[in-house]
Amino acid sequence: MRKQRRKQKNKIMNNKKGIIIVISTLIFMYLGMSIFYMNHFYSGTQINGIDVSFKTINGAEEKISSVISTYSLEVEGRDGVKSKINGNEIGLVCNEKDRIKELKNKQNPFKWITSLFSKNQVQIDGLITFDKELLKEKLNKENFFSSKKVTEPKNVSFEYSNDGYKMIAEVNGNKIKKDAVYENVENAILNQKNILNLDEANCYEKPKYTLKSKEAKEAMDLLNKYTSLKITHTFGDNKEVVDGSTINKWLYVDENMNVAFNEGQIRTYVDSLSAKYNTFGKTRTFTTSSAKVVQVSGGNYGWIINKPEEVKSLIEVIKKGKDVTKEPIYLQKAASHNTDDIGNTYVEINLTKQHLWFYKNGALVTEGDVVTGNASQNLGTPAGTYVLNYKERNATLKGENYSTPVDFWMPFNGNIGIHDATWRTEFGKDIYVKNGSHGCINSPYSLANAIYDNIVPGTPIVCYTE
């Protein structure tokens, strides 16, 4: 029993001794290292990128001077382009050595343990200097600054096919940002780095939008929406259909990935519709009441597509992204889209025979002899196809030397119109040659009355000669 107690007591004493020895050793090591760091830099100390761990002040100065004297920086560009800058080419020197001593004196030797868990990187301004102009001259001669070999960056683009749009990858190019190169090279030298990758340092112009850009994907979705529809224009029984194969030519994507409309291209399409379907001013083949076929030119009658408004309409239709069947927006309409577009309601005036017919829905309403413009005074009624502008009761016709009241006034060509002429006792024959009107269609009262009661504005009026 006593032996066991003695053994336990000895064991305790031995443990205490061991602990004391360990603590004493640690204290001795700590104090020893503290004494060492009174004259040496901490572990992990870097001055302007140069490792001076465990160096004395003189040792640090020598190390920095040695590194600077042999320093070179390799600059890596795209396409395998490289450049090497030697310190002696740019006047690289070490200054401000007193600052190294100041830095060491600020170091607390008793806090050396903390240096084991962190890096002590210090930048001393002015310690390393070089000639910036020499550096720029050197850089400006390098291939990555050569304008002859520059490829501009390009945003992701879009290509249309029968399957819709696809994105074409952006072009990174190799256009350098000079100021960024100067700045990064200078910083690399000051920090004594030996390699600088211009790509990693963001020294190249970049395309704003790439395949991964949200804006590019949204633009492609919108392009596909716009080109997935069909637009059908109707012209009576005729139709003109456009789909994505045409619409894609009306679209483009601007530098900010906005889908925009090429109004010039749309206008070209509307121009083609106008050239095909506008009848204003065209020569018409007209079958007269006597079954004779004549060619009638001139006049103000016919279809006219309102080009600016139709361009706007097409853009709005495309933006909605749905198929549509529509008529163009017209500036002026005609009665039909048949060959002569006159339809079966019209006034026919034979200027040679001095006779007028009025048909409504294909049936003859009235007819009779008339007197047209005075040919001998160059006031002959112009041939052509016109449209009735309006009709008016009890109007007064005024000219340079006349003022004449009429009961029925139906103008169709400026101041030329159909009206009653109660002052005349006869009509037709060749009266118009020497005793014609100022250009109007002088009609018997009953003829003018019958026309007035049945005609509406917009009715075609065909004047022709045989």
Q: Catalytic residue, from 94, 203, 440, 463: name it.
A: 440
Element (H, E) at 252: strand 251-253
- Spatial neighbors of 464 by CB under 8 A, at least 6 apart, are 286, 288, 294, 296, 348, 349, 350, 351, 383
Instruction: Copy the structure tokens of residue 125.
Output: 């301004």
Q: Compute the distance between CA of residue 416 and CA of residue 432 in angstroms, rounded to an integer.
A: 15
Q: Is 31 helix (H, G, I), strand (E, B) or coil?
A: helix
Looking up tokens 């379907």 gives 277
Would the CA dihedral through 192, 195, 201, 204 be positive or negative? positive
Q: Catalytic residue, from 40, 94, 203, 419: name it.
A: 419
Burial of 70 (0-12, 13-18, 19+ CB in 10 A): exposed
Query: Would residue 94 show up in a list of annotated catalytic residues for this protein?
Result: no
Helix axes 307-320, 263-277, angle to 10 degrees: 120
Query: Would residue 440 show up in a list of annotated catalytic residues for this protein?
Result: yes
Instruction: Copy the structure tokens of residue 421.
Output: 């002429």
DSSP state of 371: B
Q: Compute the distance between CA of residue 20 and CA of residue 40 in angstroms, rounded to an integer.
A: 30
Residue 428 falls in which region: left (phi positive, over 0), alpha (psi -120 to 50) or beta: left
Sheet holding 324-326, edge to edge: 238-242, 231-235, 324-326
Q: What is the largest CA-CA distance in the chain?
A: 168
Phi/psi at 396 (nearest 5 deg)? -115, 120
DSSP string, 422-433: TT-S--STTHHH
- Spatial neighbors of 147 by CB under 8 A, at least 6 apart, are none
Other Cβ atoms closer than 10 A to 379: 16
Q: Is 92 helix (H, G, I), strand (E, B) or coil?
A: coil
Helix axes 57-69, 98-105, angle to 10 degrees: 140
DSSP string, 142-209: SGGG-GGG----B--EEEEETTEEEEEPPB----B-HHHHHHHHHHHHHTT-SEEETTTTT-B---S-
Catalytic residues: 419, 440
